[in-house]
């Protein structure tokens, strides 16, 4: 069976080696070793998300306060890009698939998320071009990893329809 990582690579078009090129150096340090570039990026991203003209996408985030969503994201990004473990200290293990379980993370939602993230990166001056490319590859791969994980957890919770578990028809 295809692993979630394999599905993420196939659906995103980003090979695992490119997705994890963020680990070749330390992006947090190369951006100056302060939270600011990540605060800038997450504020830029969520400002776009919460103003999205597409209702169906905006509504996915309706249960979260914008300021909290911004902090959750930049703390995760700081930690993942080589900085201090701010996210885990406050929120616990990232467990991204489990945390996205309540939301409908479809291919369409991934593309909309990535559209806003690309625009946010394009307009964040405190991040250099090379880091932007690496981060976008990581985001594309992770977004489709979450789509694959979301499909899997939904199939598990609904039960996959199969003959093995069918009730015997009454005679
Ligand atoms: C949180 C949706 C992709 C990382 C959330 C939340 C929603 C959401 C609705 C709750 C907001 C909050 O309260 O923090 C989606 C959708 C995606 C997506 C529809 C489309 C694929 C991603 C990607 C990443 C990511 C690609 C990482 C690279 C996170 C993190 C949190 C979060 C770290 C905070 C979790 C927490 O603190 O509990 N996401 N997300 N998400 N997402 Fe996503």
Structural domain boundaries enclosing 14? 4-165
Centre of ligand 1 from the C-alpha of residue 100, in Å: 6
Q: Which atom of ligand 1 is nearest to the CA of 146?
A: 21
The alpha carbon of 32 and the centre of ligand 1 are apart by a number of angstroms equal to: 25
Question: Is 170 a member of any domain?
Answer: no
Number of domains in the chain: 1
Say what the ipTM of the complex is: 0.98
Alpha helices of the chain — where are they, by DSSP H? Answer: 4-12, 16-19, 27-30, 36-50, 55-58, 66-80, 86-91, 96-99, 107-122, 129-158
Ligand 1 center to 162 CA (angstroms): 32
The whole-number pLDDT of residue 128 equals: 98
From the alpha carbon of 94, which atom of ligand 1 is closest?
33
Tell me how many degrees the CA angle 159-144-150 measures, rounded to the nearest 5: 20
Q: Is 141 helix (H, G, I), strand (E, B) or coil?
A: helix
Would 171 be classed as within a structural domain?
A: no
> In this structure, is residue 124 part of a structural domain?
yes
Closest CA to 135 of 3, 31, 4: 31
Helices (H), 81-128: 86-91, 96-99, 107-122
CATH code of the domain containing 68: 1.10.490.10
Give the distance (Å) from ligand 1 centre to CA of residue 68. Answer: 11
**Looking at the domain assignment, is residue 127 inside a domain?**
yes
Is there a domain that residue 58 lies in? yes
pLDDT tens digit at each of 171 positions of the chain: 789 999 999 999 999 999 999 999 999 999 999 999 999 999 999 999 999 999 999 999 999 999 999 999 999 999 999 999 999 999 999 999 999 999 999 999 999 999 999 999 999 999 999 999 999 999 999 999 999 999 999 888 777 676 776 777 766
Q: Is 159 left (phi over 0), alpha (psi -120 to 50) or beta?
A: left
pLDDT on residue 166: 74
Residue 146, ligand 1, Cβ within 6 A? yes
pLDDT of amino acid 158: 78
Tell me the whole-structure pTM to 2 decimals.
0.94
* Residue 35 domain flag: yes
């Amino acid at each position: 069976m295809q692993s979630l990582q394999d599905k993420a690579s196939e659906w995103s078009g980003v090979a695992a080696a490119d997705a994890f090129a963020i680990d070749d150096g330390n992006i947090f340090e190369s951006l100056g070793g302060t939270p600011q570039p990540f605060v800038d990026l997450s504020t830029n991203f969520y400002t776009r998300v919460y103003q999205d003209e597409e209702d169906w996408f905006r509504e996915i985030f309706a249960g979260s306060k914008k300021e909290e969503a911004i902090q959750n994201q930049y703390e995760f990004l700081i930690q993942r890009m080589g900085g201090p473990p701010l996210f885990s200290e406050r929120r616990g293990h990232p467990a991204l698939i489990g945390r996205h379980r309540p939301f409908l993370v479809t291919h369409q939602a991934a593309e909309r998320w990535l559209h806003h993230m690309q625009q946010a990166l394009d307009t964040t001056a405190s991040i250099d071009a090379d880091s932007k490319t690496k981060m976008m590859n990581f985001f594309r791969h992770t977004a489709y990893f979450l789509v694959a994980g979301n499909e899997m957890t939904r199939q598990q919770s609904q039960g996959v329809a199969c003959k093995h578990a069918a009730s015997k028809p009454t005679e």
